[in-house]
Structure 1
Amino acid sequence: MLLPLLNVLLVTTAADSYDAAVEDLATSAVFVSLDIDETSIAAGIEHSCAIYTQSYDDVGGRVVCWGVNNGGQSSPPAGKFIQVSSGRLHSCGIRIDETVECWGSGAPVVKPEGMFEQVSSGDFHSCGIMKDQTVHCWGTAVGGISNPPSGKFVQVSCGKDFSCAIAIDGRVICWGENGYGQLNVDPNTRFRQISASPGDFVCGVTEDNTLSCWGDNHRNQASPPRDLKFTLVSTSRLAACGLKMDKTVVCWGMRSGVTAAPTDVQFDELSLGWNHGCAIRFDDGGVQCWGDRGSNRLEIPGELL
């Protein structure tokens, strides 16, 4: 009997022009993000969520969550979603009508208005890329993280108390707290995909599929392998893992449950939480997790296996 598969829902966007409000990013090239992190699998601090569908032909699916549920973060609403992202005590997802809905502790009483291309959840805030490619954020306002830059963007990633986004020319802009240099990205580097850590660093896949990381590096979490090519990267508090071109995973940083990722399995997607990680297998579309078993973080619901 064939098991139902998880639909891998990658979000890609493009644009023909750039908002003059961010003049220092002006360029003749338009860069398109190829892989958006945490699309149909999302590991939060102590919980995870995934989008479950019956076949690859389905448009959207229901969200299934597991792990800690002390704030309702593992109790998603009914209905179909096309993307999900998990933070500390909450998660947010994009429904098939392209509206955003969040659940858990700290979820907005009034859901964000408008239509969205992508959403990302951090510690106590979330941000999304709207249909007009501007960034909209909600939640805590510490460090100015609820005040994103103007301009047009293709991906946003929310960290602990800061966020970063890829502009349409491939450059990254970060805002919020900067105690460890997590906002100090190289303005000359172009990125395909980024991941802001629930700690104080950022990693991204550059245009040549190498990795670039910045911010806190006291456990070598911002020192990725230099001789490998990647399609996707995901960050934890003090470690990170990347999906190589052959779809296998390599990790670096503090030795922990996160860095115990299987190295002989091919994956399509990858997402790290505080001390665990989850990924979607390439061969059968099932979910596989590793790391800290506490709080049922590795107790994947049967339909996702």
Structure 2
Amino acid sequence: MLGLFTTLAVIPFLFFSTDAVGSVGTLAISLGTSTVCGISAYTFPRIIYCTNMSESVPTSPYLIYPNVSFDYVSAGTTFLCGLKSSRRAIFCWNGNPVNTKQVYKGPWVLSDISVGETHVSAIDHSSNEIRWWSKADLFPSSVHGNYSSLTSGNNFTCAITSKGKVTCWGPLSRAIQYSFSKYSMTTIVAGDSHMCGLDTSGFVICKGSNSLGQSYAPPGLPYDYTRFALGSSHTCAIKHPNGTAVCWGGSNGAHLYTPLNDTSFELLVAAGNITCGLETGNFSVLCWGSDWRTVSVRILPLPKILPGICVAEGSDECKCGFYPNSGNLCAGVGVICRRCDSLWIQQLLHPELFPSPSESKRWKVEIIVGSVCIFVGACWITFGLSLILCRK
């Protein structure tokens, strides 16, 4: 019982104290340019590699700004953007390494860069604001507040306030925000015209367009589904405890399916009818379509991609510890925070699925202590009754 109360007390703190589950940051797809880009692992500078998927065989990977180190990459319909490791510059390109542009260079320290159809947004930690660029006058220049889980769809951007409420901006913001008004959320991820995430109880909430079942919320236990990836008419998520990709929606409706059986993934991204995942262990990128009847998998010729954002060692961002071997993955320049929706959180929720010597020892100690307490209590009760009987 004590373990259960500890779990319930710890979980909300973990999710409100760390980066959003929906913030991928190291892998992105731009459907309009048929481009997939990722930030390389084991190298510094942390270079962005891209490949074009329009051909039957993806093109050899090419570099974006080979002398610049990046922390984040994000994609919209027709362009992609990267946030420099200094967190003070944003570069964008349209899938062609020649056509690049520096969108921002300045004093603000940014994170959680998010690209939509016509806009770029990021969280400014210098002044506690969300800022927009290339917004075609559809978004404000900035809004003040303490936000997390920044995400963008076509003509809307949403984020979660410190109280767990979803707030949105842009032409389609009102309908999306209203659909989440009844919920207190910990994470959100946007597709073209729908959005999914986890509420504070750990259950999947999907709202918005549901023409092909993309907003169908699968049943399950709390925190069974995390790290969502949303396309135009489908949704995918990673399912615990084995880390497999599970999808629903797409060209044949809300049917729930596992496209790659037992393959475990660290993260997923999606655009249009394509989903890509970073495979656990070898950090290779696999992609597939949204038709569950004919799942065709492609292995992209990208190098090993980082499974998370590299942050400065000793940073207070890592509320849930460090990703295994993260120092080497970041080439000795930083570490990767362990995601609070990882198997570690599942150990709290479902300890029976994760036996460990230390846990077994702890429970043995608790059983022994509890038994001793029960025995001592019984002795005192017996002693008290005997005194009463003797007096009588």
TM, length-normalised to structure 1: 0.75
When residues 301 and 30 of structure 1 are mapped into structure 2, their CA distance, relative to the original with a 3 A threshold, is closer
Shift of 1:107: 7.1
Rounded to whole Å, the distance in 2 between the matches of 1:116 and 1:178 is 25
Distance 1:179 1:166 in 2: 13
Question: Residues 61 and 80 of structure 1 are in contact (CA less than 8 Å); yes or no, is this contact kept in structure 2?
Answer: yes
Residue identity matched to 1:118: D
1:45-74 per-residue CA deviation (whole Å, 9 max, x = no partner) reads: 2321111122xxx676111111269xxxx8
Residue 150 (structure 1) shift: 2.8
Percent of residue pairs bearing the same amino acid type: 22
What letter matches 1:251 in structure 2? C
- What amino acid maps onto 1:289 in structure 2? C
Q: Which of 221, 233, 239 is the aligned partner of 1:238?
A: 233
Give CA-to-partner distance per residue, 1:148-184, whole Å, 9 cap, x none.
5431112211111111112223221112123993232
Instruction: Name the residue aligned to 1:37.
Output: 23
Shift of 1:299: 6.5
Shift of 1:139: 1.4
Question: Hey, what does 1:253 align to over in structure 2?
Answer: 249
Is 1:283 the counterpart of 2:272? The answer is no
- Aligned-residue Cα RMSD (Å) equals 3.0
Question: Where do residues 62-141 of structure 1 align in structure 2 (5 Å cutoff)?
Answer: 62-67=47-52, 76-78=64-66, 79-105=68-94, 110-111=103-104, 113=106, 114-132=108-126, 133-141=128-136
Q: Report how far residue 87 of structure 1 moved.
A: 1.2
Higher relative contact order (CA 8 A, sep 6+): 1
Structure 2: which amino acid aligns with 1:300?
Answer: L
Task: Report SS of the residue matched to 1:284.
Answer: coil
> Structure 1, residues 128-151: CA drift from partner, whole Å, max 9, x if none?
011143100111335x33455431
**Given the superposition, is the C-alpha separation of residues 112 and 274 from structure 1 closer, same or farther in structure 2, using an over 3 Å criterion?**
farther
5+ residue gaps, structure 1, are 1-28
Shift of 1:271: 0.5
Q: Is 1:261–1:277's contact at 8 Å kept on the other side of the alignment?
A: no
Q: Which has the higher strand share?
A: 1
* Match among 230, 239, 263 for residue 261 of structure 2: 263
1:49 paired residue number:
37
In the alignment, is the contact (CA less than 8 A) between 2:244 and 2:258 conserved in 1?
Answer: no
* Greater shift in the superposed pair: 280-289 or 121-130: 280-289
Q: In the TM superposition, what is the alpha-carbon distance from 1:283 to its structure 2 partner?
A: 2.2
CA-CA distance at 1:243 after TM superposition = 1.2
Shift of 1:188: 4.2
Q: Which runs of 5+ in 2 are unaligned?
A: 1-13, 55-61, 291-296, 306-392
Structure 1 counterpart of 2:248, which letter? Answer: W
Which SS does the other structure have where 1:184 is aligned? helix
